[in-house]
Amino acid sequence: MGNIGAIFATHPQRPPDPSLLEACVAACYDCGGVCAACSDACLGEAHVADLGCCIRTCLDCSDICLTTARIVSRLTEPSPMLVEVQLTSCAEACLICAAECERHAAMHEHCRICAEACRECEQACRALLHGAEAGQQ
């Protein structure tokens, strides 16, 4: 996982099995970047007016994903309710963004890539959410 995994491994408040947390944080950071890049690619398309909803949805999803990564990375005295709401919000934003990007995926490869990243992030958020509910976080 790189540096974030190293931080989690040395953090005094680390969970017993940080694998779900690491996967979620990585997926959120990846998706946040991909969504921002997809919105920019949409802006560069010839028929940009047809992509207004996609651009907005990607930007919203990017913001939510990056915020989620930061919130769930804070292991010292987290608010379980806030973490749960944020993970749920991120999963829903990714679901919405993936559906919007899939509408344009046949015509725009960047939308296909973005939809895939959103689906992966949604799954990682839901996995961490269910892991936390089971007491694994």
**125 falls within a domain:** yes
Higher pLDDT, 133 or 67: 67
Which pTM does this prediction carry? 0.92
Number of domains into which the chain is organized: 1
**8 falls within a domain:** no
Say how far apart CA 136 and CA 128 lie, in whole Å: 8
Higher pLDDT, 6 or 1: 6
Structural domain containing residue 126? 18-133
**98 falls within a domain:** yes
**11 falls within a domain:** no
At 75, give phi and psi (nearest 5°).
-90, -15
**116 falls within a domain:** yes
pLDDT surpassing 80 at residue 137: no
pLDDT digits (tens, 9 = 90+) for 71-121: 999 999 999 999 999 999 999 999 999 999 999 999 999 999 999 999 999
Say how far apart CA 20 and CA 43 lie, in whole Å: 34
**12 falls within a domain:** no
CATH number of the domain that 88 lies in?
A: 1.20.1270.360
**35 falls within a domain:** yes
Say how far apart CA 98 and CA 118 lie, in whole Å: 5
pLDDT grade, residue 5 (50/70/90)?
confident
**107 falls within a domain:** yes
By CB atoms closer than 10 A (0-12, 13-18, 19+), residue 1 is middle
